[in-house]
Structure 1
Amino acid sequence: MDHPVPPFSVIPGAQVAQALHGREKEIVELVEDTYRVHGAGATVNPPSYFLRFPDRPSSRIIALPASLGGTDDRSGVDGIKWISSFPGNIEHGVPRASAVLILNDPHTGYPYACLESSIISATRTAASAASAADRLSTDRGRPRRVGFVGTGLIARYIHTFLDGTGWSFDEVGVFDLSPDSAEGFRGHVTRTVPGSSVTIHETAESLVRGSDLVVFATVAGSPHVHDPGWFAHHPLVLNVSLRDLSAEIVLDSFNVLDDVEHCLKADTSPHLAEQRTGNRDFVHGTLDQVMSGAVLVPTDRTVVFSPFGLGVLDLAVGRYVHECVARSGELHTVDDFFHELSRHG
């Protein structure tokens, strides 16, 4: 069967946002399906590569190559996300992260789409968090008080996905080192869910102790939460930013990861726990195993979900966006993007 070189398209952020808007339930299902495919071994998801800068130690650009297998031409896709994190941007009123996603044709290897991907990255992260919140609270009862530590783009998307998948809360707690950011997030919550009760906390401790569901979505590079006593009420914790919690917190909790090998790298909180103990006994399973029933979640312990973030999730959401835009008839293709298509000229 012949596989011609596919046309190359560029999908800007406005089209990405339009394709994903209001489809939270559908995207959570897509992310869960991708976790199942990954758990079955039908993906390739090598370690992420971190480009760091000696003169800019807080900044980095990360490459996430991946391949998402499938049983037919339509379901397979290869590609890479190239995402930067420059925390200093915030001081200048510019978002911290920016990203592009390249989708490659699995038959020819040719890239066929370049998508603005900060929205895709935030969406797959939020969908993963919403799935974990649902799956890990099945036997515990849905939390009624949610608290956000860190109030940037990722926190906003997680709140949107919780709301869009049927969650409601008696109280929303907010803590951020920036009062302006905390106030801005409170405004987002009250605009999107009118009537919400939102409390801005003066300390992370106050927020954690007052929340049944805690979302860490910061840019912390090392642990700043050390006291297991903050979690004596056994909340469900979404450790999205991965480095807020000390090894003591992790070792005192029931730990679910998205992928064990990926999470136990780069000095994440679970990685610090592994370094502390020399083993992985504190890891109780993956979200895929929870979904399949292979891992049962206790009701009498703090439960921590730590998602490293898998490139295959970006591919799944990116392919979904590409298909949506293509169906709309508004796909912007670049004519003759690949110029040298004859081996001998």
Structure 2
Amino acid sequence: MFTFDVVPGDAVLNTLRSRRGDVLDIVARTYRSHEAGQTVNPDSCFLRFPEKPDSRIIALPAFIGADVELAGLKWISSFPRNTENGVPRASAVLVLNDYRTGYPVAVLEAAHISAARTAASAAVAATALRPGGYGGSRIAVVGGGVIARNICDYLQAAGCAPDAYLVHDLHEPSAQALAAHVRDTQRRPAAVTGDLGAALEAETVVFATTALEPYVHRPFGAGQVVLNISLRDLAPEVVLGAQNVFDDVEHCMKADTSPHLAEQLTGNREFVSGTLAGVLDEEVRLTADRPVIFSPFGLGALDLAVGAYVLQQARADGTAVSVPDFFGETRRW
């Protein structure tokens, strides 16, 4: 009952890199569990700083029943200026709690978990929203950071095989690094463009930036798939001109995300087509005459599900570090 483990970053990263297929399955299954009401996923709590308006630390609590039976909390910081010093924007820890007793059972380095679940979410959506596959098409990635790199890795793991990638980032070295990564890992053409408009013409467009407000005002065309991972790149009129799929509608309608701005502009949610779980279960039907935008706010339940899997694997591999006597008292009297 009173065991407590720490899973360091190297162990998390090695587990995730070698088991991307499992992570894709876990994310798809968790979306379905969430849709079926088998999770508790409260609103995230944002800690902001008056003198650092671009930075925040977010608490994402969650519970998953079914076959997981764990509660937990992801505590993740986003400090975009870190990238100016070559340091990743995000850092995180994940605490897992036993559902029976409430006692914490482990803490895991979670920046890798967060990146993996975000990327897997994008890849699950990509396969569901373009069921005909990616042959004969291009994928453009706007933003060249850690999340973008992970998304490209998970797109490959999910079998998304475009003819080429196109990368755009205001920081050209980041764009060049991501393009080189795609060429090296996928043996697939990947070019860099300084022209955002050219990237927006690709059949599939992935947004993975640190933008705080919309800068894309041109509409997308019929048949385009947009993975709106960073959530704030698109002006509300762009959202209103598309079919819109969410991980969780209620969660996305807050914090001035692009869908939230669309709701504020119109005063309604008539632009909502449904959830990704609905698409996966063929309960949401999309048409080819309009673009599709997938907007995932990011569910703490996904971090919990992936983290539980990582903990299980780390214990089996012997890479989890046990902390004896972590709890000072284990008896009431």
Q: TM-score range by the shorter chain?
A: over 0.9
Q: Paired residue for 2:163?
A: 170
Could you tell me how far apart the structure 1 residues matched to 2:136 and 2:4 are?
Answer: 45
Could you tell me how far apart the structure 2 residues matched to 1:67 and 1:232 are?
Answer: 39
- Contact (CA 8 Å) 1:240, 1:306: kept in 2 or not? yes
- Contact (CA 8 Å) 2:74, 2:92: kept in 1 or not? yes
Could you tell me how far apart the structure 2 residues matched to 1:51 and 1:172 are?
Answer: 36
Could you tell me how far apart the structure 1 residues matched to 2:133 and 2:265 are?
Answer: 30
Q: Please show how residues 1-345 of structure 1 align to structure 2 within 5 Å.
A: 5-70=1-66, 75-138=68-131, 144-194=137-187, 196-209=188-201, 211-228=202-219, 231-344=220-333
Give the Å deviation of 1:233. 4.9
Could you tell me how far apart the structure 1 residues matched to 2:134 and 2:86 are?
Answer: 39
Aligned residues with identical type, % of pairs: 52
| 1:151-193 CA-partner distances (Å, limit 9, x unpaired) | 1000000100111122222111000000111111111111112
Q: Aligned pair in 2 of structure 1 residues 236, 143: CA closer, same or farther (>3 Å)?
A: farther
Could you tell me how far apart the structure 1 residues matched to 2:57 and 2:307 are?
Answer: 19
- Contact (CA 8 Å) 2:57, 2:78: kept in 1 or not? yes
Amino acid at match of 2:120: A
Amino acid at match of 1:117: A
Could you tell me how far apart the structure 1 residues matched to 2:139 and 2:71 are?
Answer: 36
- Contact (CA 8 Å) 2:138, 2:204: kept in 1 or not? yes
Give the Å deviation of 1:143. 6.5
Could you tell me how far apart the structure 2 residues matched to 1:143 and 1:38 are?
Answer: 34
Q: Aligned pair in 2 of structure 1 residues 219, 79: CA closer, same or farther (>3 Å)?
A: same
Give the stretch that moved more between structures: 111-120 or 136-145: 136-145
Unaligned 5+ segments in structure 2 are none
Amino acid at match of 1:242: L
Amino acid at match of 1:175: H
Give the stretch that moved more between structures: 134-143 or 56-65: 134-143
| 1:95-149 CA-partner distances (Å, limit 9, x unpaired) | 0000000000001111111000000000001111000000111268666200000
- Contact (CA 8 Å) 1:254, 1:284: kept in 2 or not? yes
- The 4+ residue runs of structure 1 with deviation greater than 3 A are 139-143
Instruction: Specify the SS of the correspondent of 1:59.
Output: strand
Could you tell me how far apart the structure 2 residues matched to 1:114 and 1:260 are?
Answer: 29
Give the Å deviation of 1:330. 3.2
Task: Calculate the TM-score normalised by the size of structure 2.
Answer: 0.97
| 1:258-303 CA-partner distances (Å, limit 9, x unpaired) | 0011001100000000000000000010001111111112112110
| 1:190-247 CA-partner distances (Å, limit 9, x unpaired) | 11122x22221112111111x111000000000010121xx23541000000000000
Task: Calculate the TM-score normalised by the size of structure 1.
Answer: 0.94
Taking only aligned residues, the RMSD between alpha carbons, in angstroms, comes to 1.3
- Contact (CA 8 Å) 2:124, 2:158: kept in 1 or not? no
Could you tell me how far apart the structure 2 residues matched to 1:116 and 1:180 are?
Answer: 27
Instruction: Specify the SS of the correspondent of 1:66.
Output: strand
Instruction: Specify the SS of the correspondent of 1:222.
Output: coil
| 1:31-62 CA-partner distances (Å, limit 9, x unpaired) | 11101110000110000000000011110000
Instruction: Specify the SS of the correspondent of 1:60.
Output: strand
What is the total number of aligned residue pairs between the two structures?
Answer: 333
Amino acid at match of 1:213: T
Amino acid at match of 1:9: D
Could you tell me how far apart the structure 1 residues matched to 2:170 and 2:140 are?
Answer: 14
- Contact (CA 8 Å) 1:51, 1:60: kept in 2 or not? yes
| 1:60-115 CA-partner distances (Å, limit 9, x unpaired) | 000000001125xxx21100000000011011111000000000000111111100
